[in-house]
Structure 1
Amino acid sequence: MSNKEKTKKTFEENLQDLEAIVSKLENGDVPLEDAIAEFQEGMRLSKKLENTLQEAEKTLVKVMQADGTEKEMDANG
């Protein structure tokens, strides 16, 4: 395992990886076996990105009001 694989990638790095996979698959020049592996990796990255966004949403439970006070956000947005 390389050093890059050992370090945790940022949300943006994972998103770039997913976008690269999508581009590669859309191009269609990928052998079937590679396309399947790329698709599986894309699905894994997609789930990881979704989980990161859900965790961020849970963290952002307060918003600042115009007067500087904090207000709890509604769970539905």
Structure 2
Amino acid sequence: MTEKSTPLTFEESLSELESIVNEMENGDLPLHTALEKFERGISLSRLSQQSLEKAEQKVKILLSEQGQETLTDLNTDDND
């Protein structure tokens, strides 16, 4: 029986991923449960990455419409 569900938002997937990490760091999970949590975590990580990539693409499109061609790197670490 397959169940259609609403896709998670970025915030929901990140929250669930954080919860999984906390559970796994506790170390009290049986091996099979830990593997299931790990698999779910990988899936959530990929979903979050895809959401970020889509958001970045939208920003690039909006900037190009405004005459800007690139994003400005906001990284404040100048340790190069």
State the TM-score, normalized to the length of structure 2. Answer: 0.74
Q: Compare relative contact order (CA 8 Å, sep 6+) and give the higher one, 1 or 2.
A: 2
Letter in 1 for 2:29: V
Aligned-residue Cα RMSD (Å) equals 2.1
The equivalent residue for 2:52 is 53
Structure 1: 4+ residue segments shifted above 3 A: none
- Is 1:71 equivalent to 2:70 in the alignment? no
Give the structure with the larger strand fraction: 1
Q: 1:40 Cα shift?
A: 0.6
What runs of 5+ residues in structure 2 fail to find an aligned partner? 74-80
The equivalent residue for 1:9 is 8
Give the distance between the partners of 2:52 and 2:29, measured in 1 at CA. Answer: 30
The equivalent residue for 1:37 is 36
Q: 1:8 Cα shift?
A: 1.9
Give the distance between the partners of 1:49 and 1:76, measured in 2 at CA. Answer: 22
Give the match's secondary structure for 1:19: helix
The equivalent residue for 1:66 is none
State the TM-score, normalized to the length of structure 1. Answer: 0.77
